[in-house]
Amino acid sequence: MAPPQVDYAYGKQIESARQQLNELISKDKRYYAPLMLHLALHDAGIYGFMTDGAKDYLMKRGPNGSIGTQAELSHPSNKGLKKAVEHCDEVKRNNKKITYADLYQLAGVVAVQNTGGPPIEFVPGREDSTKFPDKAPLKSNELDESILEKIRERMDLEKKDMVALFGGLHQWSLPPDETPKGKQQNLPELKFDNSYFIGLKTREKQNLFVKDNEQYGQWVDTYEKDNNAFLADYAAAHKKVSELGISVAGEQTDQRTPAPGMSVAGKQTDQKTPAPGMSVAGKQTDQKTPAPSRNRVRLVQGIGIAVVTTAIILGFFLSRRSK
């Protein structure tokens, strides 16, 4: 499938979808927010995988919407995400231009921001794909340090990216596979923060980040003490993962040329070329060429008459001298 044309109409549908997702998540944050965040990060998780039989081919899939296929949804690591896909289908029906790849990533961004998390810049332009390799490197329930390092290297992430993303994703478990019941008054409001890291090292079942690994453990310490540091690093890591594999002609790049009057974020700019005598707001300007004043016309006419008269008089005297 070809990448979408990110023009003004596409940008308008992105904003429409953003509003619909916000309204959906606000109905029951404890149900919808974890669904949408897991959907976005799981779709982005397949990146940099070397396929069998084609060792020179790097599968730069990244977020491509393939998680909506039955083959990928049926993988054990994606259990519970079918509902998220179905809810996004409802949004897609009202915004047909948007690719599923963009829609799923937008849903993750909205889920974080709707629950008090950091603003994450969203750049549209992802291409849809239904291809899903049999041996894709999907998340395993049994992660150890060696597997974690392989994932980090494959996705070209820093250690702090991995810790921040892990904390963001695992502070919310997926809801049970049932219809949401709306806001529950006896439960506190769901909030995106550093709560996952607080007391992590003292728990009976230690997390793999703090098990004999100082390089990961130092970020656990940082995020436990400083929520702002966690939110800032999470926003940067989430944006990085959400843009893995965005490409032009098969090469990873974010340097796309926006359509006229559009930014890469799909928003209309004010850099229009105004019509003559008009401002960019469509108002007539005062930059007109003024007509010559009446006094100036009379002055020019007077000078002309004086010059002609002088020429006649000089001609008369010169003719008499010659005689």
How many Cα atoms sit within 13 Å of 91 on the Cβ side?
A: 28
State how far the alpha carbon of 166 is from the alpha carbons of 59, 125, 238, 295, in Å: 23, 26, 11, 81
Reported in sequence order, the residue ranges of the chain that DSSP labels E, i.e. its strands, are 49-50, 58-59, 247-248, 251-252
Average pLDDT, the chain: 74
Whole-number pLDDT of residue 295: 53
**Which regions in the chain score pLDDT beneath 50?**
51-52, 54-58, 136-138, 140-141, 248-291, 297, 299-300, 307-308, 313-314, 316-318, 320-323
Catalytic residue among 42, 75, 170, 238: 42
Whole-number pLDDT of residue 149: 77
Q: What is the DSSP letter of 210?
A: G
Per residue in 187-240, pLDDT (tens digit) is 678 899 999 999 887 775 656 665 556 778 889 999 999 999 999 999 999 999
Whole-number pLDDT of residue 177: 62
42 is catalytic: yes
